[in-house]
Amino acid sequence: MAIEAPISRFKKNNIKIYMVACLLGAAWFGYDGYVSKDFQKEHTDADGKMDSTLYANKKGAPIALAGAIVLAFYFLAIKDRKVVADESELKLPAEDAIPYAKIESLDKTHFAQKGYFIINYKDWKDRPTSKKLSDRNWDNLAAVVDHLTVKLQG
């Protein structure tokens, strides 16, 4: 039976908060830089040159909007990722699967207090490698740790 640990709600919610902040910033900067005639008059000198505040508002709006778009694409790219611990290997997203035979140790010293554990294993070229998995990034990680502990002891 495979144990799955999907991307955490913590990470998903943080990305959503950052997207909303970027959209609010884009709206605020865009309004001040392009719509509000009073703001534009206040931040333009007698020669018609804009000061640094108006310049920042005109440049900040598209940059904040672009940031929100990038975050939206990132959210769509990661929302279905998951760590899967099945009967023979640990599958990590965007990486190769780690067969249990290649895992040398499982350091779960800090899992109870800090919510992460470290897997030390040999990669496909037999080089020592380690991977840190945190409950800030993955939900249901405790079940994955328990499954790995049972598989590595047996």
Reported as a single tens digit per residue, the pLDDT across 71-91 is: 999 999 999 999 999 999 999
| Confidence band of 124 (pLDDT split at 50, 70, 90) | confident
pLDDT tens sequence across 32-68: 999 999 999 999 998 989 999 999 999 999 999 999 9
Query: Is the pLDDT assigned to residue 135 strictly greater than 80?
Result: yes
Task: For residue 96, name the pLDDT band (cuts at 50, 70, 90).
Answer: confident
pLDDT at 110 over 90: yes
Q: What residues pair up with 13 in beta bridges, in sequence order? A: none
Kindly indicate the confidence band of residue 132, based on its pLDDT and cuts at 50, 70 and 90.
Answer: very high
Please enumerate, as own/partner, the contacts of 118-125 that have beta carbons within 8 Å and a separation of 24 or more.
119/90, 119/148, 123/96, 124/96
Hey, what are 26's tokens?
């884009």
